Amino acid sequence: MYTQAGQFSKETTHDVLVVGLSKNGHLDSGAATVNTLINGQLDELKKQGLLSTDKGELRSFFTFGQANTPTILTLGLGSKDELTTEDIRELAGKIGKKAKADRVTNLAISLDAFTNDSLSSQEIAFLFGEGLALSTYEVVDYKEKSNKPDKQLESITFYSESADQLVEAATEGRAYATGANYTRTLVNTPANLLTPTDLAGEAEKLADKYGFKLEVLEEEDMKRLGMGALLAVTAGSDQPAKLIVLTYQGTDKWENAIGLVGKGITFDAGGISLKPAAGMHEMKMDMGGAGAVLGAMESIGQLKPDVNVVAVIPSAENMINGSALKPGDVVRAMTGKTIEIRNTDAEGRLILADAVAYARQLGVDYLVDVATLTGAVVVALGDYTTGAITNNDAWMKKVTEASEVAGEWIWQLPSHKPYKKMLATSNVADLNNAPGRAGGSITAGLFIGEFVEDTPWVHLDIAGTAWQDKATANGPAGATGAMARTLTRLVVSHS
């Protein structure tokens, strides 16, 4: 899909060539070549104000036979020296959306215009590989007649004077985006088409594709292991629960392993603590944590890092029938701790309690759980930032660093002793699953922490970030793929 070349020429044939224009007025070699080929008309168009150097502004014009590439697309860069990784990812997204709208199949990019003292051509190529793939993602619909483009981007050429391995960098960036897009597809899928059994089927596809070891625990297995918290949640549904385990061994010796645990509630009606009808259709996205973990495994399968990873996904529906979990019930988790149910809509922490305990039993040295866990985190942080809880500052730092490179913001929430005491407010059980609205995202995360013991652990609450109501430069409305790229970056950087 990607190729690298030194210099654009009149004979070179593409559908579109992208050149960047910065406010300092200097043309990179690619833009200068284009300017020469069209007899200085690039300069003339700039003088007339027909081309913009404002960051993100796109303009196009024809070469009218003066080059075999018929269309030049200019992209404003603003102050080039101030460009950041997030800027480049977004600019790449704008190009991707434009290429998709214009049904471009063969795209060329003059890459050196985007580099500065802090961003190398290799880093730029990675971000373009990532941003182009993210921005051209299509949401699957089920309409009888669909207006999907009949053409898509098939080849991308980077023109650069750099000797860096740009094709390899772009391919790596695309691998990260592919995982995030897979997450998006899973989260966007209607709940009747993605049951816990279907989710296990998706894991099986990954195992077959990349040689992962797969284990799927059935409800009988859960009973044998004492997973009373997970079984309590699934009791209200006719769909059987699944505990999905994918194992990737990247080193000869099993050590220094990371456990990725994702909440897989494929539909959440709230149980007897029923959710309001308005917006309930979006509760198909309550398996966003599971989607992020499977998306990360998709990327890991492509990148093949020298790291050991176990993905654990507890999957169930939170529904209502005559056997459903009730407020006031007491259930016993795998570790033996008892839990009083105060709210059946606080079900994610229940299934994750058994899942993180099982991950520890499998021999992981580090844990990250990802979950669309609480509405409280949306109140606290909005739709832009993922809330985090940890029991280990060093591990939290590594997760945060991975998120910063991925461009997915994380904010660590406090975990002081008074919050932990709120969990012990049941008179009949060890833990209360819903001690109140105050500090709700904190206590929910700390509830899961009760089952990780001393294993370094980070909890990521993506209830706000897993879904967006409006399209952005890097994706359409709907599922965002949140945390898939962060988890991948964490694994790749782990040693």
Task: Tell me the pairing of strands 155-159 and 2-5.
Answer: parallel
Is 304 annotated as belonging to a binding site? no
The amino acid at residue 93 is G
The contacts found for 76-79 with CB under 8 angstroms, 24 or more apart, are: 76/20, 76/21, 76/52, 77/20, 77/21, 77/22, 77/23, 77/53, 77/113, 77/114, 78/22, 78/23, 78/53, 78/54, 79/22, 79/23, 79/24
Smallest Cα–Cα separation from 127: which of 80, 82, 177, 78? 177
Q: Which two tokens stand for residue 493?
A: 């950087």
Is 489 a catalytic site residue? no
CA distance 311 to 193: 22
Is 354 annotated as belonging to a binding site? no
Number of CB atoms found within 10 A of residue 159's CB: 27
The dihedral through the CA atoms of 279, 280, 286, 288 has a sign that is negative
Catalytic residue among 23, 59, 275, 337: 275
Is 286 annotated as belonging to a binding site? yes
Is 345 annotated as belonging to a binding site? yes
Is 184 a catalytic site residue? no
Give helix then strand counts, H and E, for the chain: 15, 20
Catalytic residue among 349, 398, 485, 489: 349
Q: Which two tokens stand for residue 283?
A: 């509760």
For residue 313, the surrounding DSSP H or E stretch is strand 308-318
Start-end of H helices in 189-272: 196-210, 219-225, 228-234
Binding-site residue set: 263, 268, 286, 345, 347
State the catalytic residues: 275, 349
Binding-site residue set for Mn(2+): 263, 268, 286, 345, 347
